[in-house]
Amino acid sequence: MFDSTQNFTSAGEFDSDARILMNGLIQMGSKTPLMFGTHMFNINGTQRRYGWVQCSRDITSEECRTCLSNMLDDVENCCMEKRVWRIFSPSCVVMYETQPFLLAGTQPDAPAQQKEKKRKQKDTILIIIIVVTAMVVALLAFSTFYYRCLERKKDEKEMQILDAIFSPDETNNEENVNSDLPMMPLSTILKSTHNFSDKYKLGEGGFGTVYKGVLADGREIAVKRLSKTSVQGVEEFKNEVMLIAKLQHRNLVRLLAFCIEQNEKLLIYEYMPNSSLNFQLRDLVKGAQLDWKQRLNIINGIAKGLLYLHEDSRLRVIHRDLKASNILLDHEMNPKISDFGLARTFGGDQGESNTMRVVGTYGYMAPEYAIEGLFSVKSDVFSFGVLLLEIISGKRNNRFYLSEHGQSLLTYAWNFWSEGKGLELMDPLISNSCVPSEVLKCIQIGLLCVQDNAADRPTMSGVVHMLGSDNVTLPSPICPSFSVGRSTNTIEGGSSSNASTSVTVNEITLSEVLPR
């Protein structure tokens, strides 16, 4: 298609120079992304002419250049005598004008391009909003689903606990626990503790918080409340409920009831007005009132309680977390072993077992348990030996090495014993009330209990016999090389003891319980 309107004023205006200039414009325009070009020419040095070339964008750059060049060749056949001409084809356009087509520096369809750019920006923003919204909705849906699954698992776990507690024990043909251990309504517990008031708080530990409660009939109770973030889980809760209900001994704390209601897991014990042995030993005033007769009574009571667990109960029980803070004292200062959440039972003639999950407290663990995960009744014997030396010295093993001595209580006691200075280990607070021969015998028994080799340690029946006999000949202990000192490494899942707190492996232990 040709469109020519004005004749040239003089022949030969569209000469070779003009053709060269238009050819240059074609070369330039065909290579641009828009396949477009416009330029101003000076003809004969005085006249301005304006060229325009453009191709459709459905052809290649080379096809565009060929199309434009062919159309420029057609000028000689149609428009040599015209001042202004335009040649159109479906794929390209060539124009030659005396007036500028557009303002300098602009491009064709600039407003349309700007609109297209804005439209694309809006589309991009819209897509981002849609994607983000979809992700948020999906995340909320997943969170809701996950939370409901957790809640459902909690409910199922609680039902499993109840089923296990109230169903018969098929292995031992025992009757269900319901007849021995009742459930106490949550409303009764809330009323007795004034809705778990801080004024009634006795202590706090890995399990949760312990509160004092007073029932309507005036009985005092201790309520152990499993915290929502407790490291001691429902398995330990179930273990304690099922185990302690089957154990009855004057030197074991008595579990009165339990409660599983409204996501609360509670254990209700008899209240111990004199707190724990740990509290009595660390308090200077209380320690001064704890004379040798009372301390010896506590030693004997703990030994008899352990003997019952190991040999005389319906189940053979290994406590696994025997320590001063788990020995509670009643109104007459009689000791009662508590906290059976980590206890394990043996059946028949089974004597030992091992575990990949070492739990307990630094300073009280037998070496074979701390290092190899192997536990037996002799593991409790080791812990008892540490307790015995703590009661005599008034010092706590898991903090002793931080003192000026720079060693564990076990090596400290051995050094005195091996040098014939055993009485120097004794707590000065009992120097006026002690019987030296009894103190020395107890130190020797304690050192026998903490020997490295489990086979060298006595059984609890042997310990009770040695404590109760004045004529028995005691074997000589071997120096304990295993101790928790400055170089102690962390045992699986736990932390080393420090100066400010008694650390428990996996932190499954109850902190100090204070009387109110």
DSSP-assigned beta bridge partners for residue 374: 354
E strand residue ranges, 370-463: 374-376
Q: How far apart are alpha carbons 236 and 387 in whole angstroms? A: 24
Which of 321, 339, 380, 427 is flagged as catalytic?
Answer: 321
DSSP annotation of 253 reads P
Residue (of 191, 218, 223) closest to 208 by Cα position: 223
Greatest pairwise CA separation for the chain in angstroms: 147
- Crossing angle of the two packed helices 377-393 and 292-307, in degrees rounded to 10: 170
Residue 115 annotated as binding site: no
φ, ψ for residue 4 (rounded to 5)?
-130, 135
Q: Return the SS3 of 289.
A: helix
Q: How many CB atoms lie within 10 A of CB 421?
A: 10
Number of Cβ within a 10 Å radius of residue 129: 10
Q: How many of the other CB atoms lie within 10 Å of CB of 166?
A: 13
Q: For residue 29, how far is the Cα from the chain centroid? A: 66
CA atoms of 382 and 295, how far apart (whole Å): 19
Active-site residue, 321 included = yes
Binding residue numbers: 224
Which sequence positions are flagged as catalytic?
321
Binding residue numbers for ATP: 224
